[in-house]
């Protein structure tokens, strides 16, 4: 008896030698207890296995997103998120801020937006302009080891420094570059869907697959801007400096932030309205068939052709923004209609452009961007993170293009936008029956789109111009 017990003891994978030399009676009890324990473990693991097979896994292994970190539990504010709950952190540098601030001025509203542009040192030319964000000088960033640029460390730390300022009632920290243009009303709509007391890291990928492969599909690309919830910023602040030391060999600032957030275990929440715009050439095709999501940001404006022909990029942006102010939720949203009598397909990107094709094209094609641009790094024809259609060199296959000329508000909830035909230098199509030159101007009337529209999954891929009409009228 004693012998067999010893043997079984030695065979036990747990090798609990101590138990083998206890007095016999007590030893038997211990063995009984161990057997009972094993049985309980077995039953428990079987039921766990069964349970996990039939239930959602996240109930068993809650993600850290669900940890709540409320600022002050006695003052929980359940009112909806608005612009005043956002704190912006713009990455700038003393030498370039003066010239670059032209883009920031387009969206910064000193009466409502909060935050700072973070500079490496005091700028030589001081802005007396109240229309630009006030500046802060980054501190404590020079002591970090780095292989590539020191400014990447500095910029990665902006979220930490923004948090440390301790401004009241901040729900989201929004990071961006000095050439990022934010559409703040839409940004608020998007962030309003999420609970800032949970950990969220929200942004977008690069449009060029080569960039996502080189960096990460799980990274929010910094130029398109990204948002970090208060709860996540609080955790990030704790590990930031140690984390920056660990990733000294990284290249970019957004990559460092991504790596640190991944240590906390929070994945990227992708929102398709953030645009890093890692493309070269003309973004026309993309903006003419923007996905049906609110436009949140644009970037790399100086690296791209002007959005409107024969205009500077700054002027193009002003034009786009003039329509955005009239109907923020609808800007660059696509509506499609057909003129069956003339066999025309018409695609409207509200507030930007209209295309007329003198043939009937399926909606799936109209919703696929014309490839008027190349990839960011290698200037190739793809791949992108979305499908594209080639731009035909045959003028008869190309759509007639119209660009926004005027946008006016009508009453409390309507708008009229007028688009003018673009006569480029390109060859014209002279084939019989394909000419539509009689159309020079197109007038689109639409009802203001309620931001609530985005709270539910849109029912259609093409946006109706008003709830009751799906037809386009033109003159």
Ligand X SMILES: *[C@@H]1O[C@H](CO)[C@@H](O)[C@H](O)[C@H]1NC(C)=O
Residue number, 72 or 430, with CB nearest to ligand X: 72
Nearer to ligand X, 100 or 256 (CB): 100
CB of 98 to ligand X, least distance (A): 8
Query: Residue 347 CB, nearest distance to ligand X (Å)?
Result: 23
Q: Which of 253, 194, 180, 189 is nearest to 229 (CA)?
A: 194
Q: 359, 349 in Cβ contact below 8 A? A: no
Residue among 107 and 286 whose Cβ is closer to ligand X: 107
- In this structure, the number of other CB atoms found within 10 A of the CB of residue 102 comes to 15
Choose between 180 and 333: whose C-beta lies nearer to ligand X.
Answer: 180
- Least distance in Å: CB of 136 to ligand X? 21
Rounded distance between C-alpha atoms, residue 163 and residue 87, angstroms: 9
Least Å distance between CB 102 and ligand X? 4
Minimum CB separation of residue 310 from ligand X in Å reads 4
Least distance between ligand X and beta carbon 247 (Å): 32
Span between the terminal Cα atoms of the chain, in Å: 103
18 to 22, 202, 279, 384: CA distances (angstroms): 7, 54, 68, 63
| Closer residue to ligand X (CB): 83 or 418 | 83
**Sheet architecture: strand order including 414-421:** 334-339, 344-349, 353-357, 400-410, 414-421, 441-447
CA distance 248 to 156: 12
Q: Under a CB-based contact definition with an 8 Å cutoff, are residues 207 and 275 in contact?
A: yes
Residues that bind ligand X (CB under 6 A): 72, 74-75, 77, 79, 82-84, 99, 102, 109-112, 310, 314
Shortest separation between residue 176's beta carbon and ligand X, angstroms: 16
Nearer to ligand X, 210 or 405 (CB): 405
Residue closer to ligand X by CB (options 74, 128) is 74
Whether residue 330 contacts residue 307, with contact meaning beta carbons closer than 8 Å, is answered with: no
What's the gap between Cα 164 and its chain centre?
24
- Which one, 86 or 449, has the nearer CB to ligand X? 86
CB 449 within 8 A of CB 333: yes
CB of 267 to ligand X, least distance (A): 28
242 CB contacts (<8 Å, ≥6 apart)?
A: none
């Amino acid at each position: 008896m004693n012998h067999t017990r010893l043997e079984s003891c030695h065979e036990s994978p747990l090798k609990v030698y101590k138990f083998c030399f206890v007095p016999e009676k007590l030893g038997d009890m211990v063995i009984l207890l161990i057997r009972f324990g094993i049985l309980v473990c077995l039953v428990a693991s079987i039921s766990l296995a069964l349970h996990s097979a039939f239930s959602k896994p996240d109930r068993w292994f809650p993600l850290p997103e669900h940890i709540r970190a409320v600022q002050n539990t006695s003052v929980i504010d359940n009112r909806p998120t608005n612009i005043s709950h956002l704190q912006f952190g713009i990455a700038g540098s003393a030498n370039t801020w003066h010239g670059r601030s032209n883009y920031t001025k387009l969206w910064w509203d000193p009466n409502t937006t909060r935050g700072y542009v973070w500079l490496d040192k005091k700028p030589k030319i001081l802005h007396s302009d109240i229309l630009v964000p006030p500046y802060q000088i980054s501190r404590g960033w020079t002591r970090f080891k780095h292989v590539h640029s020191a400014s990447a460390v500095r910029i990665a730390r902006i979220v930490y420094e923004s948090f440390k300022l301790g401004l009241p009632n901040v729900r989201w920290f929004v990071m961006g570059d000095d050439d990022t243009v934010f559409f703040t009303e839409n940004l608020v709509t998007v962030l309003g869907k999420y609970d800032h007391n949970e950990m969220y890291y929200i942004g977008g990928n690069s449009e060029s697959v080569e960039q996502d492969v080189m960096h990460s599909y799980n990274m929010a690309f910094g130029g398109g801007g990204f948002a970090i919830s208060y709860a996540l910023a609080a955790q990030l602040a704790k590990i930031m400096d140690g984390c920056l030391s660990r990733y000294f060999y990284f290249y970019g600032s957004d990559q460092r932030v991504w790596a640190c957030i991944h240590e906390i275990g929070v994945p990227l929440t992708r929102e398709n309205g953030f645009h890093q715009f890692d493309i070269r050439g003309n973004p026309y095709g993309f903006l003419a068939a923007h996905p049906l999501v609110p436009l949140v940001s644009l970037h790399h404006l100086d690296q791209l052709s002007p959005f409107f022909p024969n205009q500077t990029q700054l002027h193009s942006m002003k034009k786009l923004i003039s329509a955005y102010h009239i109907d923020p939720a609808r800007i660059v949203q696509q509506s499609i209609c057909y003129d069956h009598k003339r066999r025309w397909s018409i695609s409207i990107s509200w507030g930007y452009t209209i295309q007329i094709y003198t043939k009937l094209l399926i909606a799936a094609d109209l919703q696929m961007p014309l490839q008027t641009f190349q990839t960011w790094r290698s200037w190739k024809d793809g791949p992108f993170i979305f499908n594209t259609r080639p731009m035909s060199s045959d003028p008869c296959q190309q759509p007639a293009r119209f660009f926004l000329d005027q946008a006016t508000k009508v009453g409390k909830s309507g708008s009229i936008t007028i688009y003018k035909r673009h006569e480029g230098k390109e060859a014209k199509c002279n084939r019989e029956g394909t000419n539509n030159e009689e159309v020079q101007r197109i007038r689109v009337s639409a009802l203001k789109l309620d931001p609530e529209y985005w709270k539910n999954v849109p029912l259609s891929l093409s946006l109706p111009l008003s709830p009751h009409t799906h037809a386009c009228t033109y003159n």
